[in-house]
């Protein structure tokens, strides 16, 4: 979820604060036939990021890095050289959410408005607006489909043309559902997923929903711990650069975007 906790629906409040403390990791992998690979995100570079950006989605599109922000929503084109966006479209009183690219168009979710914005061209222009039921959290593009999270353990697959639902999978770790799935990035054969208010990033098999890897990104949250004050300034935003494979992560209201290396935990 992307907003102060007083506005959360009851199920999210219960899941986030009664069953799972805000600083929790994902459940321990333990042993079992579906034990995920463990990795740790190590910072290798750091870049400026606007501290007024309530980051919801982060994605590379046509060689540029784009960001979707919440509250008074925006779509932004970023530069790694400056904190301020090089281009920005304000969306007014719309809580924007996840952002995905199919290589030709950008697709931007909204939280509770039930609107999907499709952008084309450079700089992007809004091509169409499509209505859909339910909440929008994270979004990514995988094998011709858009993958949406809604804060539950469910990932829903949609057609890019009209956002028709064409399937879904439940995200599970050792057979147990993992809720509060947030920002998504489809790359390297998996879906990378933030868990809201967690420093862990999941690697999910798109075909089955099984968690095949867990990335400890707590080094990033420690790096900004003395520079953020909001309880909502949590890890959120994953982008893998096509061609180079470079991985970037940031957070809501964070002053930095981090380029990371994923090291295997022995």
Say yes or no to pLDDT of 73 above 60: yes
| pLDDT value for 20 | 33
Structure tokens at 263: 């090291």
Mean pLDDT of the chain: 90
In a domain? residue 236: yes
pLDDT in tens, 196-228: 999 999 999 999 999 999 999 999 999 999 999
pLDDT in tens, 137-189: 999 999 999 999 999 999 999 999 999 999 999 999 999 999 999 999 999 99
| pLDDT value for 27 | 53
- Sort strands 181-187 and 235-240 into parallel, antiparallel or unpaired: unpaired
- With cut-offs at 50, 70 and 90, classify the pLDDT of residue 26: low
In a domain? residue 205: yes
Per the model's pLDDT, the better-predicted residue between 26 and 71 turns out to be: 71
| pLDDT value for 28 | 52
Alpha-carbon distance of 124 to 142, in angstroms, equals 21
The contacts of residue 71 (CB under 8 Å, 6+ apart) are 2, 3, 54, 95
In a domain? residue 89: yes
Per the model's pLDDT, the better-predicted residue between 105 and 14 turns out to be: 105
| CA contacts within 13 A on the Cβ side of 255 | 9
Alpha-carbon distance of 221 to 228, in angstroms, equals 10
In a domain? residue 8: no
User: What DSSP assignment string belongs to 134-175?
Assistant: S----EEEETTEEEEE-SSSEEEEE-TTT--EEEEEE-EETT
- What 3-state DSSP class applies to 55? strand
| pLDDT value for 13 | 30
Which helix H or strand E contains 12, and what residues bound it?
helix 10-13
Edge-to-edge strands, sheet with 55-61 = 55-61, 64-69, 74-79, 82-90
How many folded domains does the chain comprise?
A: 1
Per the model's pLDDT, the better-predicted residue between 65 and 16 turns out to be: 65
In a domain? residue 69: yes
Asked if the peptide bond before residue 110 counts as cis, ω within 30 degrees of 0, the response is no
Q: Domain span at residue 118?
A: 32-264
| pLDDT value for 216 | 98
In a domain? residue 223: yes
Edge-to-edge strands, sheet with 247-251 = 181-187, 190-195, 200-204, 211-216, 37-48, 256-264, 247-251, 235-240
Say yes or no to pLDDT of 92 above 50: yes
In a domain? residue 21: no
In a domain? residue 102: yes
Task: Return the CATH number at 135.
Answer: 2.120.10.30
Say yes or no to pLDDT of 4 above 80: no
- Dihedral sign computed on CA atoms, order 117, 120, 126, 130: negative
């Amino acid at each position: 979820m992307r907003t102060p906790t007083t506005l959360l629906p009851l199920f999210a409040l219960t899941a986030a604060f009664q069953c799972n403390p805000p600083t929790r990791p994902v459940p321990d992998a333990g042993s079992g036939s579906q034990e995920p690979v463990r990795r740790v995100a190590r910072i290798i570079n750091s870049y400026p990021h606007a501290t007024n950006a309530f980051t919801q989605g982060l994605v590379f599109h046509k060689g540029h890095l784009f960001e979707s922000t919440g509250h008074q929503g925006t779509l932004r084109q970023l530069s790694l050289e400056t904190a301020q966006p090089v281009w920005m479209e304000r969306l007014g009183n719309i809580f924007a959410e996840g952002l995905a690219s199919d290589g030709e168009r950008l697709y931007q979710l909204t939280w509770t408005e039930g609107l999907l914005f499709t952008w084309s061209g450079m700089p992007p222009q809004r091509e169409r607006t499509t209505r859909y039921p339910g909440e929008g959290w994270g979004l990514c593009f995988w094998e011709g489909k858009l993958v949406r999270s809604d804060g539950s353990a469910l990932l829903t697959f949609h057609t890019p043309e009209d956002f028709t639902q064409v399937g879904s999978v439940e995200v599970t770790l050792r057979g147990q559902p993992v809720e509060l799935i947030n920002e998504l990035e489809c790359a390297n054969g998996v879906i990378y997923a933030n868990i809201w208010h967690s420093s862990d990033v999941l690697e999910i098999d798109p075909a089955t929903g099984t968690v095949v890897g867990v990335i400890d990104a707590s080094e990033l949250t420690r790096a900004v711990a003395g520079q953020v004050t909001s309880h909502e300034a949590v890890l959120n935003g994953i982008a893998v650069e096509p061609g180079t494979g470079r991985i970037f992560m940031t957070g809501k209201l964070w002053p930095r975007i981090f380029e990371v290396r994923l090291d295997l935990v022995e």
